Amino acid sequence: MAKQARAAVLSGYGQPFDIRDIEVGELRDSEILVRIAGVGICHTDLTAAIGAVPVPVPAVLGHEGAGIIEAVGSAVENLAPGDHVVLSYSSCRSCRNCDAGHPAYCANFALRNYSGRRSDGSTTLQLDGDPLHGNWFGQSSMATHAVVDASDAVRVSGDLPIDRLGPLGCGIMTGAGAVLKVLRPRTGSSIVVFGAGAVGLGAVMAAVVAGCETIIAVDPVGARRDLALSVGATAVVDATDADLAKQLRKLTGGGADHSVDTVSSEEVLNTAVSVLRSPGSCATLGLRGQRNPVTLDQSAILMGRSVTGVIEGDVDPQEFIPELIALWQDGRFPFEKLITTFAFDELDAALAATKSGEVAKAVLTF
């Protein structure tokens, strides 16, 4: 029997989200039904909403959900109704990359996260009796309820603020994972983070955990620069400053050991490479659409500098999300400072605050 729910429905690219009554279908054997407590708004949701990521419409987006399990499929063994879970991207757990510990590069990533359907072509949701595309990053959690494969849910303690934990499943995890699991800076090293949104601030907090001595955040918005200082940046620079690269090289004593690019425009990526010492490494994280051609100065890379693309922090959420929660409980990863909550009915205000950069991470609560 279908369950009634409410969801932010995207009827067409570039159209406003509309909160509608929808139907949630029967669970498959490996699936769980999650009552969403909170869901973060990610810029990837906004990118998809304008058609730059090929999710079919009509659709329900949202992929930073967390909540409480209401029901489980017949084959689910490790989760039960009443469990609190953080949701993350979907992976098959059986392909070569998943077996090698890199589920973010799952061979079936596009099918499981962008197609809007299960692998058999069915949808988890319906709108007025017609198929409604769900499965966005395996969850479509911009709704009161989400159908999720059990392997994509991370069980957490019931005494945690479950309505605030959703962003650990994507944006914050991406920035933190890029630093801790990909760049792996040595204690005392230097890092420059371009963009002080949730991804960039996740990288800043991770750099503190890693023991970086110099942590510089670059952003054009003063409030975001202040926020970066409050979570551990040792210096901040206005992205619009003249001679930005020269200023950053001076602040890092000739160049940074590492840089993180969360913007991924050609200008920012080139600056992120140019401010590296030799050798040095840059992680580029921003998703601007299906194609984003850039030109890099090969002579700069030739001098021992590297550029690495990173999706979802290249982490396994089942392992990394508990790590981030433990760091937060120890007072070493203050991600709560990034979050501004909005009631679900305040969706338009939350979207506007996200687009303008007024807030680092808007979270819709139910």
* CATH number of the domain within which 24 lies: 3.90.180.10
What is the per-residue pLDDT for 161? Answer: 98
- Burial of residue 89, with CB atoms counted within 10 A of its CB: 0-12 exposed, 13-18 middle, 19 or more buried: buried
**Going along the chain, which residue ranges are E strands?**
3-10, 18-24, 31-40, 59-60, 65-72, 84-87, 125-127, 130-132, 145-149, 153-156, 190-194, 214-219, 235-238, 256-261, 276-284, 305-309, 339-343, 361-365
- At residue 182's C-alpha, the angle toward residues 161 and 100, to 5°, is 90
Query: Crossing angle for the helix pair 198-210 and 222-230, nearest 10 degrees?
Result: 30
Is the domain of 245 the same as that of 357? no
Could you give the number of structural domains in the chain?
2
**Helices and strands counted in the chain (H then E):** 11, 18
Is the domain of 150 the same as that of 202? no
Is 329 within the bounds of a domain? no
Is 326 within the bounds of a domain? no
Strands 190-194 and 153-156, sheet pairing? unpaired
pTM: 0.96
What is the per-residue pLDDT for 280? Answer: 98
Is the domain of 139 the same as that of 231? no
Is the domain of 139 the same as that of 237? no
Is the domain of 129 the same as that of 106? yes
Is the domain of 165 the same as that of 30? yes
pLDDT, one tens digit for every residue, the chain (366 residues): 579 999 999 999 999 999 999 999 999 999 999 999 999 999 999 999 999 988 999 999 999 999 999 999 999 999 999 999 999 999 999 999 999 999 999 999 999 999 999 989 999 999 999 999 999 999 999 999 999 999 999 999 999 999 999 999 999 999 999 999 999 999 999 999 999 999 999 999 999 999 999 999 999 999 999 999 999 999 999 999 999 999 999 999 999 999 999 999 999 999 999 999 999 999 999 887 778 889 998 988 999 999 999 999 999 999 999 999 999 999 999 999 999 999 999 999 999 999 999 999 999 999
What is the per-residue pLDDT for 287? Answer: 81
Is the domain of 243 the same as that of 338? no
Is 209 within the bounds of a domain? yes
CATH number at residue 285: 3.40.50.720
Is 82 within the bounds of a domain? yes
